[in-house]
Amino acid sequence: MIAAILSVTLLGIALGFALGFAARKFAVETDARVAEIGAMMPGTNCGQCGYPGCPGAAAAIAAGEATVTVCPPGGKALATALAAKLGIAADLSGVSDEGPKIATIAEEICIGCCRCIKECPTDAIVGAAKQIHAVMREACTGCGNCVDRCPTEAVKMEPVPVTLQHWVWPKPQAKVEQAWA
């Protein structure tokens, strides 16, 4: 009885040490930034960046293969946040400053085929077979995946209309900045 308990205990301790040693010795090094950048990405895996989903893009950005401006739905806000995270200067000239866009469905040409619904990463499109579909504006991230799927070109990307609550004073246009520089 005692011999059995002892041998199993010793075996457990020995294997524990062996596992601990292996975990340290053969640890696969991952870039801690990848997880952090991944948390900043939209997380919809829309694929517009050309990388396999948001984790793929995060790995590419951390490795320096992709620029911080790679994510179209993230836009300028994400690009600046990523640049601040990585401590690099963001070249925002490539980012189109049209502002956020969302998908809209032209009801008169929607045939209710449900193809766009299957494509939407945030389930922002509602509808059923042979019923007109509609986009829930608050849920749409503007990834644009649905546009190509529509057989009747009923889906279009439209800029989010500016409302009084969302309007922002434009930055004063002055030559004063040069004096400060």
Q: Does 164 bind other proteins (CB under 8 A)?
A: yes
> From the list 28, 64, 97, 167, which residue makes contact with other proteins (rule: CB under 8 A)?
167
Q: Does 28 bind other proteins (CB under 8 A)?
A: no
Stretch that binds other proteins, among 26-34, 108-116, 150-158, 166-174 (CB under 8 A): 166-174
Distances (CA, A) of 7 to 2, 4, 15, 16, 75: 8, 5, 12, 14, 61
φ and ψ of 179, to 5 deg: -65, -30
* Coil, strand or helix at 131: coil
The answer to whether the CB of 37 falls within 8 A of the CB of 78 is: no
Q: Does 43 bind other proteins (CB under 8 A)?
A: yes
Binding site residues, other proteins, CB under 8 A: 42-45, 73-75, 77-78, 100, 120-124, 138-139, 141, 162-164, 166-172, 174-177, 179-181
